[in-house]
Amino acid sequence: MIYLFTGCFLSATILPFASEGFIIYALIKGYSPFWCFVSASAGNCLGSTVTYFTGVFCNNYVIKRFFPVNRNSPAMKKAIERLHRYKSPVLLLSWIPAIGDPIVLASGLIGIRLRDFMFYTYTGRLVRYLVMIFGFIWIW
């Protein structure tokens, strides 16, 4: 299950991984759906929190040096605009590939409260995994 945790963690950071493949593979191999859910959720939520804090601390020299964040890139401008318009509930969509990571990073950049970030981001990600795992069980 450590590979599932690690894969889901990495997929929630700004690295281009898809956690769905890791979960489906684990379920096909016969791992418990409950433990797949726990491992994937923990890794993915922790990874999104790392991305959030990267945004929070992006002005720090060390972070800026290794993770340069261009606030003027089209993806970041769009993410910041959406966060300003829709506020924290837009984080429910942070699990969506391609738009989720910029939204999470932007939430740290603009100073969304950690409590709000965790509630909306974790809720969206947990629901996604529940639907995916139950859907897999139902189809398989």
Tens of pLDDT along 29-64? 999 999 999 999 999 999 999 999 988 887 665 566
CA dihedral 96, 97, 98, 100 (to 10 degrees): 40
CB atoms within 10 A of CB 56: 19
Q: How far is CA 37 from CA 13, 85, 114, 122, in A?
A: 18, 32, 23, 13
Name, in order, each residue with C-beta under 8 angstroms of 41's C-beta and a sequence gap of 6 or more.
8, 122, 125, 126, 129
Q: For the chain, how many structural domains are there in total?
A: 1
Instruction: Specify the amino acid at residue 51.
Output: T
Cα–chain-centroid distance for residue 115?
15
Tens digit of each residue's pLDDT (9 = 90 or more) over 105-114: 889 888 899 9
Full domain range(s) for residue 14: 2-139
User: What is the per-residue pLDDT for 80?
Assistant: 79
